[in-house]
Structure 1
Amino acid sequence: MRVERRLRGLNWILSSVLLAWLTACAPPRSSRITIGAKNFTEQVVLGEMFAQEIEAVTGEQVDRRFYLAGSYLCQQAMVSGRIDGYVEYTGTALTAILKQPLPAIGQRNEATVFREVSALYASKYKIKVGPGLGFEDTFAMVVRGDDAKRLGVTTISDAVKTSPTPEGWRLGVGYEFQSRPDGLRGLEATYGLKFAGEPRTMDLGLLYRALSSNQVDMVAGNSTDGPIRALGFVVLEDDKHYFPPYEAVPLAREDSLQRHPGIQVAMDRLAGKVSADEVRAMNYAVDSEHKDVADVVREFRRSKGL
């Protein structure tokens, strides 16, 4: 019995030491607010906008954790407390993060998707969805302007009937689009689209370069991408309304809002302030004019009286 008591005591001591060691090794949560962003220009623009607005409201410095590689890593960073908030898109949240099936085509409206996303984030992750920034950034099937004019294509349905090569459209996509439930396979099934071989998968920043240099004939981009207008590309209308709404909304952890109420004030101040044309212009200023993100956002906020 005495030996057993000693062993139990030793096990308790070892367990306590191990727990203390694990706690010491866990990354400390910063006392400052930390805002994240995914790894493409628009996300960095919106992350900087969120961060600057919080700084303006609170008078405190906000840490930036930008260029996180995609929705999954942003979600993990939120759940683990490594970031307090970031800007997401409702359609992406619904399908890629919350793993919900696409609503029936007739029910894919902005209000319905927003309500469902808000309820699921709150119940599953204790994350609050803020009011929309004022624009959608939907997936966009983009072609060269010359091809659109020559072939007479303005909608995705038009592209089913013709193509710039006998083999069909050569498609370029980002890494997520090929596997997402609201991505390529559903698009093919909805429209009956056929492509010339497997799509070329690449970083989002390379899609328009590949389209411009005739390496591909169509890319799955985003509707607010700056190069679309700058390079004379054409977005094909989603005439069957396949894609759900992708309203840009700020997310914040509920416990972060309790500790830092200024985050909520910043979200409310940004609500409805950003149009699709305005975010497209900011994307272009960063991507094509090589302006500093912080300066571009600061000028935009100044123009809005923020």
Structure 2
Amino acid sequence: MIGFRLKASLCVVWVGCVLAAGCRRPHPTLTVGSKDGAEQLILGEILAQHLSRSLPSVQIARKFGLGNVSLVHSSLLTGEINIYPEYSGTALFNVLNMQPDRGDDALLDQVREGYRTTFHCEWFGPLGFRYNRVFLVPRHIAEKRKVQNLTQVSDSAEGWAIGSSREFRDRPDGMVRLTRKYELQLSVPVQIITDEPLFTAMSKDQITLGITRTTDPRIGTGDLVEMPDDQMVYPIYEAGYVVKLETLEAYPGLANSIKALYGKITLDRMRAMVRRVELERADVASVAAGFLKEVGLN
């Protein structure tokens, strides 16, 4: 009889444990996403590690390298991801479908308002660096043609051999906008070429107008001259993060956690991190961890 009662008590305890385990609330999960490219991976990993520390009760998942802006923005709206890095200029043209006449700081307010009213999202930024386009000409060609900015480049009677990324060639805020404002004479069709091959081609005069981005770690390594966008054709591409408003409501500490990164990811720091990832083949996670330690957020 005693044995039966003991067994019955053990069964009750076992059933209670099972029910308790089944009713235990799982940790909420917040998924950080990113587009392709070293800068995006680094920004995504920095945020993921930072949130893991600042929101310890939240499980942080990662979905990086999801593709172009359209794909990642769609992933945000469908809930596949909850937050991802986005540049203000990219958002203006490719998400909000705005066509500003020129670039200035006031456009950041348009980006924020556009996200809120159209997609019920919030754009957080700026983080500290700008992902702007950089236009480079070999020094001896710039001196020979007497060009110092894009207006003078467009006024040159001699044709240009342009090299750029496929993204720049195809996006509405890329080649289309450049050639609409600056009537460039081409000596050959635009060539799709980036990173080290672009700089090698410019050193051999195979490319006479190379288009890259401010975070390219190779800038300054060749005898090249930057051609400023003197007509301010392109808006400011401030780095930031986009998150849905409902996600902010679900995670009360999220907004302050993101704001802790404001101003800390400077251009020098980002360019150094990209150098480590692209040129030195360093692990993105270790690069992000080193940054967070440097700025006191580890």
TM-score (ref. length: structure 1): 0.80
Structure 2 residue 272 is the aligned partner of structure 1 residue 303: no
Mapped contact 1:42–1:279 kept (Cα < 8 A): yes
What's the counterpart of residue 237 of structure 1?
228
For 1:198 and 1:151, how far apart are their aligned partners in 2?
20
Structure 2 CA distance for partners of 1:159 and 1:77, relative to 1, 3 Å: same
For 1:303 and 1:149, how far apart are their aligned partners in 2?
41
What's the counterpart of residue 26 of structure 1?
none
For 2:146 and 2:214, how far apart are their aligned partners in 1?
20
Cα drift, residue 216 of structure 1: 2.4
What's the counterpart of residue 162 of structure 2?
171
Structure 2 CA distance for partners of 1:36 and 1:262, relative to 1, 3 Å: same
Equivalent in 62, 65, 78 of residue 63 of structure 2:
65
Mapped contact 1:54–1:262 kept (Cα < 8 A): no
What's the counterpart of residue 51 of structure 2?
54
For 1:124 and 1:58, how far apart are their aligned partners in 2?
28
1:124-273 equivalent positions in 2, closer than 5 A: 124-148=118-142, 151-162=145-156, 168-202=159-193, 207-208=198-199, 210-212=201-203, 214-273=205-264
Equivalent in 85, 88, 108 of residue 87 of structure 1:
85
Task: Pick the structure with greater CA Rg.
Answer: 2
Sequence identity, in percent?
A: 29
Give the secondary-structure state (helix, strand or coil) at the position aligned to 1:224. Answer: coil
The residue type paired with residue 70 of structure 2 is Y
Mapped contact 2:194–2:212 kept (Cα < 8 A): no
Give the secondary-structure state (helix, strand or coil) at the position aligned to 1:172. Answer: strand
The residue type paired with residue 241 of structure 2 is P
The residue type paired with residue 113 of structure 2 is A
Deviations 1:55-113 (A, max 9, x none): 12012442111112111111011111111111111111011111111x233xx312x21
Structure 2 CA distance for partners of 1:206 and 1:250, relative to 1, 3 Å: farther
Cα drift, residue 185 of structure 1: 2.3
Structure 2 residue 273 is the aligned partner of structure 1 residue 282: yes
Structure 2 CA distance for partners of 1:298 and 1:189, relative to 1, 3 Å: same
Number of residues paired by the alignment?
270
Cα drift, residue 202 of structure 1: 4.8
Give the secondary-structure state (helix, strand or coil) at the position aligned to 2:29. Answer: coil
Cα drift, residue 299 of structure 1: 1.2
Give the secondary-structure state (helix, strand or coil) at the position aligned to 2:296. Answer: coil
TM-score (ref. length: structure 2): 0.82
Cα drift, residue 246 of structure 1: 0.6
Greater CA deviation, 49-58 or 30-39?
Answer: 30-39
Mapped contact 1:88–1:251 kept (Cα < 8 A): yes
The residue type paired with residue 48 of structure 2 is A
Mapped contact 1:228–1:234 kept (Cα < 8 A): no
Mapped contact 1:173–1:204 kept (Cα < 8 A): no
For 1:204 and 1:86, how far apart are their aligned partners in 2?
24
Structure 2 CA distance for partners of 1:206 and 1:260, relative to 1, 3 Å: farther
Structure 2 CA distance for partners of 1:31 and 1:213, relative to 1, 3 Å: farther
Mapped contact 1:135–1:248 kept (Cα < 8 A): yes
Mapped contact 1:169–1:195 kept (Cα < 8 A): yes
The residue type paired with residue 110 of structure 2 is E
Greater CA deviation, 251-260 or 210-219?
Answer: 210-219
The residue type paired with residue 127 of structure 1 is C
Give the gaps of 5 or more residues in structure 2: 1-26
Greater CA deviation, 193-202 or 124-133?
Answer: 193-202
Give the secondary-structure state (helix, strand or coil) at the position aligned to 2:153. Answer: helix
Structure 2 CA distance for partners of 1:238 and 1:261, relative to 1, 3 Å: same
The residue type paired with residue 90 of structure 1 is S
Give the gaps of 5 or more residues in structure 1: 1-29
